[in-house]
Amino acid sequence: MVDHVVWDWNGTLLDDFEITAEVSAVMIRNAGRADVTHDDIRSAHTRPFSDFFRQLVGRDPTADEMEASMRRYVDAYEPVKRDLPLAIDALQSLALLREHGIGQSILSMAPDEELQELVGLRGIRDFFMRVDGAHVLGQDKKVESLRRHISALGCEPTRITLIGDTVDDFLAAHALGAKTVLVTTGMNAAHRLAATGAPVADTLLDAARRVVDLSGRTRRG
């Protein structure tokens, strides 16, 4: 039985894969891996950044490279963040869950102030019971953020499904006893998502339909 969905933001509800992957690829190319592709990024992407860098470059990043990577990401993302689209089926997916009486919220590792602004600009805030981002950027692990988020919701973890685009999303939910549906729209390749054993969907709408099936609920009204 599922009563509530926790949505990831970047790469899931927000369609920002191309810019995020390209910024990551530029960083890796500048470190000497000139042939890196977006598929390579998807196959290797993980946290922390140093592990991701090591997989693709074969060495640890220097302090200067770490600083430059953060600066380059901010410089590329900041000017366009308000114009990035929602996933093409995001609104349909949110509406489907609402029609079946399933609660919804957002948990992101993006800065909280930025997240609140971007969700508000897209006119979808009313779908969600809570919207929580990071208050101290880069210091929290997703599992701890999810633990606080679930506590604030007052829901049993076993009745929650997290919809996200990374193995990290699965690991956080699994550690707390929540379910996961993973989508292939973001930073992790499909084969990596499938290796978790969690259900994998190619679209948000497919993910939402799977949650409806898990919920056992019928459409309200």
pLDDT of res. 149: 98
Predicted structure pTM score: 0.93
Neighbours of 198 (CB within 10 A): 19
pLDDT of res. 209: 97
Cis geometry, peptide bond prior to residue 48 (ω within 30 degrees of 0): yes
Residues facing residue 179 across a β-bridge: 161
pLDDT of res. 137: 64
58/136: higher pLDDT: 58
Q: What share of the chain is helix, strand, coil (3-state, %, to 5)?
A: 50, 15, 35
pLDDT of res. 219: 75
139/129: higher pLDDT: 129
- Asked if the model's pLDDT at residue 141 lies above 90, the reply is no
The pLDDT mean for the chain works out to 93
pLDDT, tens digit, 9 for 90 and up, residues 21-63: 999 999 899 999 999 999 999 999 987 888 999 999 999 999 9
pLDDT of res. 136: 77
pLDDT of res. 66: 87
pLDDT of res. 107: 98
Quote the percentage of the chain above a pLDDT of 90.
82
70-79, 126-135, 139-148: range with highest mean pLDDT: 126-135
The residues near 11 (Cβ < 8 Å, ≥ 6 apart) are 17, 20, 164, 165, 166, 185, 186, 187
85/48: higher pLDDT: 85
Contact 152, 107 (CB under 8 A): no
pLDDT of res. 138: 59
184/65: higher pLDDT: 184
pLDDT of res. 221: 54
Per domain, the residue ranges of the chain are 4-16+85-215, 17-77
Q: Which DSSP state fits 186?
A: S
The CATH architecture assigned to 4-16+85-215 reads: 3-Layer(aba) Sandwich (3.40)
- Asked if the model's pLDDT at residue 2 lies above 90, the reply is no
pLDDT, tens digit, 9 for 90 and up, residues 190-217: 999 999 999 999 999 999 999 999 888 7
